[in-house]
Amino acid sequence: MIDVAEIHPRAAMAKTQFASLAREIFILKKQLNAVILAHNYQVPEIQDVADFVGDSLGLAQQAAKTDADVIVFCGVHFMAETAKILNPNKIVVLPDKGAGCSLEESCPAPELAKLQATNPNFWTIAYINCSAAVKALCDVIVTSGNAEKIVNAAPKDKDLLFVPDENLGQWVLEQTGRPMTLWKGNCYAHVEFQSESILKLKQQFPDAKVVVHPESLRAVRDLADSVCSTEKMIAFCKNDPAKRFIIVTESGIIHRMQQACPGKEFLCAPVFDVMRAPTDNCRCSECKYMKLNTLEKVRACMKTLAPRVELPKEILERARLPIERMLEISVRS
């Protein structure tokens, strides 16, 4: 009989409706020598079985240093691809292969190659939310956690091309003053936030600080006390003396915020059609791709070691360079 408490310190604490699933997952993890990496937008029960929960940058950094044989990536497909690019000889599985991203979809590699061909002086900066084939065409990758630093470090004699998120790109352009050609992609979940609904919430709770993800529209970013990546949002709420926060990003992050900041209150910024009345049809924002993953699917992908991320050798090799460049610049002081 296996003592689950010896397998993982959190295993014995898994007393919820997900307890037996969580225990099976902890046992599989030990048998496979697997590591479970989860994004901040995953459902709480997935976050609770993960070895590491974080933003895209933190997840890439963890993937780069793991000595596990199997990486179970609980996030979306481009994130699992990044882990595979950094670990070409390891098995990388994800709970649901359909977990895509509207930003990734907006930027097919052949279209990017066509645009790049129009200007040989382009230096292409890709937000990590893109396919491996797009990464393979780029000079450097950024996440929302390091975009400003990496754009500041870009060669001064180059014409900067930023893909695929025009909102993050516009925000970085404002922060750095570096002109950039912006690809016209967006995160379908973040552009649903409207300044009207956030202002209304702010009127109701004037003491609340507004924390916004940079994939949001400019009118929404302009209302923010802080614009930052999901991990920096958690740090901001922890360190700021305010007791109440309006959180303008995917609602999965609230679980970590509640764990990190006991006693503070988090209000999910609502998304609803402002043209429609009454406004009680509002809801918290959820990314339909992130929410495809379930604890059952985590167990299934560990049992079958599928679906797996596989990439052509030339893409693996070419896409590694801009990711490694990002990781190297990120740790510079």
The residues binding ligand SF4 (CB under 6 A) are 76, 101-103, 129, 187-190, 215, 250, 287, 289-290
Number of residues that bind ligand 13P (CB under 6 A): 12
Alpha helices by DSSP H, the chain: 4-7, 19-32, 44-47, 56-65, 77-86, 102-105, 109-116, 132-135, 147-152, 166-176, 195-204, 218-221, 230-239, 254-260, 295-304, 313-330
- Residue list 56-75, contact with ligand 13P (CB under 6 A): 56-57
Q: Cα(140)–Cα(29) distance, rounded to whole angstroms? A: 33
Angle at 319 between CA 314 and CA 324, to 5 degrees: 135
Residue 176 partner contact from ligand 13P, ligand SF4, none using kind-dependent CB cut-offs of 5 to 8 Å: none
Residue 187 or 246 having the CB closest to ligand 13P: 187
Minimum distance, C-beta of residue 122 to ligand 13P, in the bound complex (Å): 24
Closest CA to 58 of 38, 29, 33: 38
23: alpha, beta or left? (left if phi > 0; alpha if psi -120 to 50):
alpha
Q: Cα(132)–Cα(85) distance, rounded to whole angstroms? A: 8
Residue 197 or 293 having the CB closest to ligand SF4: 293
- The DSSP code for 227 is E
Asked if 145 is part of the footprint of ligand 13P (rule: CB under 6 A), the reply reads yes
Return the range that interacts with ligand 13P (CB under 6 A); candidates 50-58, 91-99, 234-242, 269-277.
50-58
Asked if 143 is part of the footprint of ligand 13P (rule: CB under 6 A), the reply reads yes
Residue 7 or 189 having the CB closest to ligand SF4: 189
Return the range that interacts with ligand 13P (CB under 6 A); candidates 142-150, 178-186, 200-208, 270-278.
142-150
- The DSSP code for 192 is G
**Of the candidates 21, 23, 42, 55, which one interacts with ligand 13P according to CB under 6 A?**
55
Return the range that interacts with ligand 13P (CB under 6 A); candidates 24-32, 43-51, 54-62, 323-331.
54-62
Q: Cα(233)–Cα(248) distance, rounded to whole angstroms? A: 10
Residues making contact with ligand 13P (CB under 6 A): 40, 55-57, 129, 143-145, 187, 215, 229-230
